[in-house]
DNA sequence: TTGAAAGTTCACGATACCTTGAACCTATTG
DNA sequence: CAATAGGTTCAAGGTATCGTGAACTTTCAA
């Protein structure tokens, strides 16, 4: 789950000797967590950078700070934007896009989980149903087996519900966290 | 997330023409879910096979039914055994190991999540703490930034708690499911 | 004790995913 | 309306991960 990145040569950037170490640590830490949750490490790194900087950043600045390619920044920020954890703004007077972070990245986790889990749950539920129907067609399938298939289906539903509950709970918790701070 | 398997040639097996289609469907469905949760597809397939069969199976039988290599069956079943979702039993009169499925695979998800998440959370918490301390050392770090770092730490804690809650909840739910069926 | 079958390990090859970067669009600006 | 910098796409290459199967170790029966 921990991947190494060779981070070759950036396309045209010069090394940012200004990048404070603690900022790198934060970005990488968030990257790790985000990766654990099934996203790309760089989704977390880009969001974290924008979050700690608090200032709108251009694609070029992100690219340099995190040592990413031009294309990567484009794709990553498109994803983050779609998930509503990053906003694209146009600074007054500038003819260039800048990115700013929304205050929490849970919408990202929540939304994409819903999408992915949703599609999966539907397909698997269908497959289990099909299997159960097939099994009922056979005479040599005993009752205990049928019961186990039914239990498996209900287990799937249970996971689905627990998931929803988790998502709802985390939503509540972040609100509470906001109040406290 | 969906992977294809070429499933080359098995080491010495003959094709099991007896394998009912519905059984394959069930194993693959569970495999998909398990994979979504960050495990190997074959962990789910082996457990599901043992679960629907209800009968102790030898490694050779598992190997043939799921078209796995000898080594794969050995490693997969070792994992499942460690996670307490599969038991290794010795049938009376036989000098060979057989495997049986425990009734639910949530302990697997729960345990390994605790392990993985636990290690990650500790490391990330440490990293964020280090970063925050470093940032406090700099004079050119404004208060808002420090506040954001603190918020990030509390967000990490929040995720940890939500996770714990999810694990606890799923435990309760499976019990309820058992009662109902 | 010894032979053979069962079971395990691990280097290698295959697979899937991620990133790169050059070619390609699109947008401002002069 | 060019010219050019900003922005996107996607095929090719790199990297991590997984499964294979032969070599190795263990276990069991005679």
Over B6-35, what HEC string results? CCCCCCCCCCCCCCCHHHHHHHHHHHHHHH
The number of angstroms, rounded, from the C-alpha of A26 to the middle of its chain's C-alpha atoms is 17
Q: How far is A3 from chain B (nearest CA, A)?
A: 14
> With contact defined as beta carbons under 8 Å apart, do B28 and A154 qualify?
no
**Confidence class for position B52, pLDDT limits 50, 70, 90:** very high
Q: Please give the nucleotide, over all strands, whose C1' is closest to the CA of residue B2.
A: C16
Other C-beta atoms closer than 10 Å to the C-beta of A137 total 9
What pLDDT, on a 0 to 100 scale, did the predictor assign at position B16?
A: 44
Does residue A91 or residue B113 have the better pLDDT? A91
As a whole number, the mean pLDDT across chain B is 81
> With contact defined as beta carbons under 8 Å apart, do A148 and B51 qualify?
yes
Other C-beta atoms closer than 10 Å to the C-beta of B70 total 14
Q: Is residue B15's pLDDT more than 50?
A: no
- For chain A, which ranges sit under pLDDT 70? 1-17, 104-106, 108, 162, 166, 169-181
Contact A33 B158 (CB under 8 A): no
Contact A173 B150 (CB under 8 A): no
Q: Is residue B98's pLDDT more than 80?
A: yes
Q: How far is CA A64 from CA A39, A56, B66, in A?
A: 22, 15, 48
What pLDDT, on a 0 to 100 scale, did the predictor assign at position B120?
A: 84
List the structure tokens of B27: 């194993």
β-bridge partners, A87? A100
Q: What are B129-161's pLDDT values in tens digits?
A: 999 999 999 888 989 999 889 888 887 777 777
- Which of A128, A166, A181 has its CB closest to that of B29? A128
Cα nearest neighbour of A147 on chain B: B181
Q: How far is A69 from chain B (nearest CA, A)?
A: 24
Q: Which residue is nearest to nucleotide C18 (CA to C1')?
A: A40
Contact A134 B21 (CB under 8 A): yes
Q: Which residues touch A3 (CB under 8 Å, ≥6 apart)?
A: A35, A41
Does residue B15 or residue A88 have the better pLDDT? A88
Contact A30 B169 (CB under 8 A): no
Q: Please give the nucleotide, over all strands, whose C1' is closest to the CA of residue A43.
A: C18
Contact B26 A155 (CB under 8 A): no
d(CA A159, CA B170): 7
% of chain B with per-residue pLDDT over 70? 78
Residue of B32, B140, B152 to mutate when probing chain A, most A C-beta within 10 A? B152
Q: How far is CA A149 from CA A78, B4, B19, B54, in A?
A: 42, 25, 16, 11
List the structure tokens of A106: 């849970």
List the structure tokens of A151: 């239990």
Q: What are B156-178's pLDDT values in tens digits?
A: 777 777 777 767 766 655 555 55
Three-state DSSP state, A155 = helix
What pLDDT, on a 0 to 100 scale, did the predictor assign at position A13?
A: 38
Q: What is the pTM of this model?
A: 0.82
Contact B52 A25 (CB under 8 A): no
Give the single-character DSSP code of A122. H
Instruction: Write out residues whose CB is closer than 7 A to strand C.
Output: A 5, 7-11, 40-42, 67-72, 75, 94-95; B 1-6, 58-60, 70-71, 74-75, 77-78, 96-97
d(CA B97, CA B24): 24
Q: Which residues in chain B are contacts of A128 at CB distance < 8 A?
A: 25-26, 29
Q: What are A10-22's pLDDT values in tens digits?
A: 343 344 457 889 9
> With contact defined as beta carbons under 8 Å apart, do B99 and B62 qualify?
yes
What pLDDT, on a 0 to 100 scale, did the predictor assign at position A177?
A: 57
Q: Is residue B75's pLDDT more than 50?
A: yes
Q: Which nucleotides of D are covered by protein (CB under 7 A)?
A: 6-10, 14-23, 27-29
What pLDDT, on a 0 to 100 scale, did the predictor assign at position A7?
A: 36
Please identify which residue in the block is written with the tokens 């990490």. B156
What mean pLDDT comes out for the span B46-70? 96
User: Angle between the B59-66 and B41-53 helix axes, to the nearest 10 degrees?
Assistant: 110
């Amino acid at each position: 789950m921990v991947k190494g990145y060779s981070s070759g040569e950036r396309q045209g950037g010069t090394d940012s000797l200004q990048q404070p170490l603690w900022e790198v640590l934060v970005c990488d830490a968030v990257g790790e967590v985000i990766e654990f949750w099934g996203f790309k490490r760089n989704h977390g790194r880009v969001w974290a950078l924008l979050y700690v900087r608090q200032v709108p950043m251009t694609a070029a600045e992100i690219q340099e700070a995190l040592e990413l390619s031009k294309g990567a920044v484009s794709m990553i920020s498109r994803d983050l934007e779609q998930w509503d954890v990053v906003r694209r703004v146009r600074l007054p007077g500038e003819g260039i896009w800048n990115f700013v972070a929304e205050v929490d990245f849970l919408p990202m986790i929540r939304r994409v989980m819903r999408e992915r889990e949703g599609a999966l749950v539907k397909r698997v539920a269908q497959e289990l149903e099909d299997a159960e129907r097939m099994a009922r067609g056979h005479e040599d399938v005993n009752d205990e087996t049928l019961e186990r298939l039914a239990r498996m289906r209900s287990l799937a539903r249970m996971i689905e519900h627990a998931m929803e509950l988790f998502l709802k709970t985390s939503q509540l918790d972040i609100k509470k966290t906001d109040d406290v701070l």
